[in-house]
Structure 1
Amino acid sequence: MEMARERQAPVAIDIHRAGQQLFHAALPGSAPDNDAWIARKRRVVERYNSASYLVGARHRAKGTTFEASSRLDPDTYAAHGGSFPITVEGAGVIGAVTVSGLPQLEDHKMVVEALETFLTHK
């Protein structure tokens, strides 16, 4: 969250584990719609055990879209950047960290950078 604040990013940030919300912040400039995007992107991570951006990119690489080829409700699932799986060795994917409020690649980059910083400073 510090990174987003320092950059004055208009984002909402969410951390979920096994269906339980552990953390949520809505920074200035974010909107209630960001919470809906968070839920939709997080569901992609929970279903595919991969980053939401990666899931969308895999479909685009096949010349299609996630919406067209997954046949999942787009009001429930969004394979757009910003949600990243939390993986624990021996347990697999246990949750997700999600950011919403920037263009999808920027949401994805912010999550990755924050996780890299966290893991480097543990």
Structure 2
Amino acid sequence: MKDLESMGIDTTDASLAWIGYFHSDGKTIERYFLIEYPFGKAHQECVPAYTVEDMVKKMPCYIPSREEGKLGYVLRLGAANPNQYFCAYEAIDNNTAPLMIQYGGSLIEAVFYIFKYIIALKLNH
């Protein structure tokens, strides 16, 4: 989330938040707990956390092709194998290479990478 905030993205619409609970000294955080974000907004040590669903809702489900005669690309998520997941914008016609694809050890890792890329593209246009 720090990456997104450094890009200027408002993360206050996150579904979840990490809440820090202080050690008995009142100065150091002992541990973090994940809670629903609206509840956590009032807490001093609240760090918003996007879910996969939060990010997917903000991503375009379709990206038109810039090439004439091509249909464009659709968002696709899934498991490549039991230990690897992917997020991709795949060609509708299946005869064209994916526009972008990212693999990760978790679905949220793969989606987060593509989400940051899409946000960067939007900010630079």
Q: Do these two structures clear the TM 0.5 threshold for a shared fold by scoring above it?
A: no
**TM-score bracket relative to the smaller structure:** under 0.3
The structure, 1 or 2, with the larger RCO (C-alpha pairs under 8 Å, 6+ apart) is 1
State TM-score, norm by structure 1: 0.28
State TM-score, norm by structure 2: 0.27
